[in-house]
């Protein structure tokens, strides 16, 4: 993930940003579709929201999880989520500045617009998938790389597919996660999804 200070400046207004809220809602809807397509039940789950920010996706996952580890390197973003946790009484949500060590693993890991920012995308995917329980679902959304941009940023479909497969996931699917018109543009992030095999 990116360093905290880069995102701390956005934390106070993040939840009030219509684009951020719309993106989180569309990502959640696409997650429900992906879970159904992979025959994964979203109930009574142990969940990791990696790169959670202020928890716009986390808050939508609360009804599905008995335990949610929300991870982000931005102290200000986590403070915003901590305030929600306290105000709304989400006893199963815990925030972390890095991935917790140990534990029982996760049934669901989500990463919303974060993996394109990490230094070694395939290595981070391997680490995360290593924490996924057999039969668990991994899903992430990231902007597609446009090599013609002055400062290219994002991930390609092949890069996402290769990272998920090399991490050991099966039934890997990569494509446009959703198409969401907003202002004068259309949000069209890539979504990569895969399942950890139930037996090796």
pLDDT tens digits, residue range 61-110?
999 999 999 999 999 999 999 999 999 999 999 999 999 987 789 999 99
The CATH number corresponding to 4-195 among 3.90.1010.10, 1.20.58.220, 3.40.50.150, 3.40.640.10 equals 3.40.50.150
Assess whether pLDDT exceeds 70 at residue 198: yes
In angstroms, rounded to a whole number, what is the distance separating the alpha carbons of residues 93 and 81?
9
- H/E/C letters for each residue in the chain? CCCHHHHHHHHHHHCCCHHHHHHHHHHHHHHHHHHHHCCCCCCCEEEEEECCCCCCCHHHHHHHEEEEEEECCCHHHHHHHHHHHHHHCCCCEEEECCCCCCCCCEEEEEEECCCCCCCCHHHHHHHHHHCEEEEEEEEEEECECCCCCCCCCCECHHHHHHHHHHCCCEEEEEEECCCEEECCEEECCEEEEEECCCCC
With cut-offs at 50, 70 and 90, classify the pLDDT of residue 161.
very high
pLDDT tens digits, residue range 13-61?
888 889 999 999 999 999 999 999 999 999 999 999 999 999 999 999 9
In angstroms, rounded to a whole number, what is the distance separating the alpha carbons of residues 14 and 17?
5
- What is the residue-averaged pLDDT of the chain? 92
Give 118's Cβ-side CA count (13 Å radius): 20
According to the model, what pLDDT value does residue 5 have?
56
pLDDT tens digits, residue range 125-153?
999 999 999 999 999 999 999 887 777 88
What per-residue string of b and e applies to 87-111 under the rule 16 or more CB within 10 Å gives b?
A: eeebeebebeeeeeeeeeebbbbbb
Stretch among 120-124, 143-147, 191-195 having the lowest mean pLDDT: 143-147
- H/E/C letters for each residue in 56-109? CCHHHHHHHEEEEEEECCCHHHHHHHHHHHHHHCCCCEEEECCCCCCCCCEEEE
Assess whether pLDDT exceeds 70 at residue 200: no
With cut-offs at 50, 70 and 90, classify the pLDDT of residue 175.
very high
Percentage of the chain modeled with pLDDT above 70: 97
| Segments making up each domain of the chain, as ranges | 4-195
């Amino acid at each position: 993930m990116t360093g905290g200070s880069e995102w701390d400046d956005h934390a106070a207004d993040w939840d009030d940003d219509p684009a951020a809220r719309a993106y989180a809602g569309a990502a959640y809807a696409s997650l429900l579709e992906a879970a159904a397509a992979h025959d994964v039940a979203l109930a009574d789950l142990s969940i990791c929201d990696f790169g959670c920010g202020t928890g716009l996706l986390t808050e939508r996952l609360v009804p599905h999880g008995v335990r949610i580890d929300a991870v982000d390197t931005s102290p200000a973003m986590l403070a915003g989520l901590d305030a929600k946790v306290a105000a709304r009484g989400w006893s199963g949500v815990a925030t972390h500045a890095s991935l917790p060590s140990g534990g029982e693993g996760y049934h669901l890991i989500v990463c919303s617009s974060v993996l394109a920012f990490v230094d070694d995308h395939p290595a981070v995917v391997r680490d995360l998938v290593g924490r996924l329980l057999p039969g668990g679902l991994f899903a992430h959304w990231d902007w597609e790389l446009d090599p013609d941009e002055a400062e290219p940023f994002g991930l390609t479909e092949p890069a996402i597919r290769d990272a998920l497969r090399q991490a050991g996931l099966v039934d890997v699917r990569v494509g446009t996660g959703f198409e969401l018109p907003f202002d004068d543009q259309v949000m069209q992030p890539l979504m990569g999804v895969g399942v950890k095999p139930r037996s090796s």
